[in-house]
Amino acid sequence: MMDVILLAARRFAGFFVGCGMTNIIQKGSHPAVEAAKQRMPRPVRALGLDGLERWAAEAGADDVGVVSLDHPDLAEERAPVLKAFPAAKTLVSIVVRMHPENVRSPSRSVANQDFHRAGETVDAVAWALVRKLSEAGHRAMNPAMAFPMEMDDFPGRTWVVSHKRVAMAAGLGLQGLHRNVIHPRFGSFVVLGTVLTTADIAGRKPVVDVNPCVDCKLCVAACPVGAIEPDGGFRFSACLDHNYREFMTGFGDLLEEVAEAKDRHALRDKVSISESASMWQSLAYKPNYKAAHCIAVCPAGDEVLTPFVTDRPGFLKEVVRPLTERREPVYVVAGSDAEAHVQKRFPHKPVRRVRSSLRATSAPGFFRAMPLVFQRGPAKGWRATFHFELTDDAKVVHRATARIDDGTLTVNPSAHDGAPDVVEVFPPLNPLTGDSWSCSSRCSSPTPPRPCASSSLVSMPPEAAPSPARCSMRPRASPWTRRSRDCS
């Protein structure tokens, strides 16, 4: 009889899942819950850097370091790290070396395989360390070494933690001119990873005090899109548009090419058969970088440097020229510094024009992207103040000021300041439908670059709108009017 009542009660509870009835019947009776209440907390084992080094080496790492999340150089990392793992206190940095001969090969499939293999090893080491740390009673987590990343936030910051910043703060190397971390022994031929943990780990490596970068500028000479500037500047969008052609943004652009093409012949003018085949390979296997020449030619690092210093002409012939002389398609935005660079320095490399990779879907993202897509070359000789007014899908108006001064850009992302020469008004958009605001160089190319003598744009054609010119969704009436929505 009791059985029948219990069965009926369970059935009844089954109809009311979510209203608490199931819990009332089970509460306090589950053996696992009772056992958990009795169990003593797991003993926590104290850890030191040497023990960690042993675990990491067993799992395949070539070097590790440790740094507290409170380190001042990691101030910008705190919020994103704590968002992913609120209990994080300490960061373990992992280094896995690549094989220079592979990375340098003009057969780029060989180089890409090395990047992938080393990347998988980093993730495997990080995963093994999380297990070891857990067994020692500590909580731990391993964000991806690169991909997959947090694409919900794209085109904003998609990475959980900056492995470069952590590696430098943990004493594993310093950034070279090419902005990659150079390990004092292995040079640029390393990929990096990070484990986040609650453990206090004793022992620190000394910070690397002499930058291994020997300032030879071979990375500047080898980069097909001129992304690395001799003064330390980095043309972020040039690298992204070319190197990541078969990653997230390039793939999206290819889909749009397909959608817009009149027929297959028109599509082939834009995307050759070998390019579609290459994209297929990237999708089917792992995405292939188009370059990485900055790392390939870098002679820095104790174990790499000798051939360069003992036989520089031989090094140039054997390592640099096979890459610079390589006939490879180079992906650039029309009118960009990158296009000018490849046409001037590498006329034998076919130029393929693509849309800008960074397309903003929020007002703050738009203002953040401006310095990343800014083209110094076409902005030479310009002096002008732009006022931007963007209305988002919630009808909130965002205002910002951008000032161009002879090839430099400063952005005030939160207000209008100074007298504007040009006012840009962007209408509301719905990022979820795929709309995006864009301030790509293609957008500004209708405006002929002409020197400015004062703070306003001079030599405006007579038919141009009165100053300040107002730019909006209206059809283009003067060189100063932007059709902001379709200019990407």
Return the residue of 13, 84, 124, 214 that touches ligand SF4, per CB under 6 A: 214
Nearest-CA neighbor of 160 among 215, 239, 84, 236?
Answer: 84
CB of 400 to ligand B12, least distance (A): 16
Instruction: Please report whether residue 144 would count as binding ligand SF4 according to CB under 6 A.
Output: no
Contact 250, 357 (CB under 8 A): yes
Instruction: Please report whether residue 292 would count as binding ligand SF4 according to CB under 6 A.
Output: no
Return the residue of 67, 103, 300, 360 that touches ligand SF4, per CB under 6 A: 300
Contact 378, 446 (CB under 8 A): no
| CA atoms within 13 A of residue 219's CA, in its CB half-sphere | 27
Return the residue of 21, 49, 316, 372 that touches ligand B12, per CB under 6 A: 372
Instruction: Please report whether residue 104 would count as binding ligand SF4 according to CB under 6 A.
Output: no
Helix axes 236-243, 363-373, angle to 10 degrees: 90
Tokens describing residue 49: 């850097």
Contact 95, 63 (CB under 8 A): yes
**Closest CB to ligand SF4 among residues 56, 298:** 298
Instruction: Please report whether residue 165 would count as binding ligand B12 according to CB under 6 A.
Output: yes
**Which residue has its beta carbon closest to ligand SF4?**
176
Task: Note the helical H segments in 16-107.
Answer: 21-26, 31-38, 49-59, 75-84, 100-104
Instruction: Please report whether residue 176 would count as binding ligand SF4 according to CB under 6 A.
Output: yes
Residue located via tokens 């903003």:
360
Q: In sequence order, what E strands does 324-474 have?
A: 330-332, 351-353, 383-391, 397-405, 408-412, 422-426, 469-471
Tell me, by CB under 6 A, how many residues bind ligand SF4: 15
CB of 320 to ligand B12, least distance (A): 16
Instruction: Please report whether residue 289 would count as binding ligand B12 according to CB under 6 A.
Output: yes
Instruction: Please report whether residue 221 would count as binding ligand SF4 according to CB under 6 A.
Output: no
**Closest CB to ligand SF4 among residues 188, 375:** 188
**Closest CB to ligand B12 among residues 59, 457:** 59
Q: In this structure, which long-range contacts are made by residues 320-323, counting pairs with CB atoms below 8 Å and at least 24 apart in sequence?
A: 320/218, 320/221, 320/222, 322/104, 322/106, 323/104, 323/106, 323/222, 323/293, 323/296, 323/297
Residue located via tokens 């910070």:
207
Instruction: Please report whether residue 333 would count as binding ligand SF4 according to CB under 6 A.
Output: no
Number of other residues whose CB lies within 10 A of the CB of residue 313: 7
Instruction: Please report whether residue 376 would count as binding ligand B12 according to CB under 6 A.
Output: no
CB of 289 to ligand B12, least distance (A): 4
Based on its alpha-carbon atoms, the radius of gyration of the chain, rounded to whole angstroms, reads: 27
CB of 287 to ligand B12, least distance (A): 10
127 binds, among ligand B12, ligand SF4, none (CB under 5 to 8 A by kind): none
- Binding part of the chain for ligand B12, among 127-135, 155-163, 309-317, 333-341 by CB under 6 A, reads 155-163
Instruction: Please report whether residue 92 would count as binding ligand SF4 according to CB under 6 A.
Output: no
Instruction: Please report whether residue 319 would count as binding ligand SF4 according to CB under 6 A.
Output: no
**Closest CB to ligand B12 among residues 127, 234:** 234
- Report the C-alpha gap between 113 and 115 in whole angstroms: 5
- Report the C-alpha gap between 65 and 95 in whole angstroms: 9
The contact set with ligand B12 (CB under 6 A) reads 115, 145-146, 155-157, 159, 162-165, 178-181, 188, 190-193, 234, 236, 239-240, 243-244, 289, 291-292, 294-295, 372
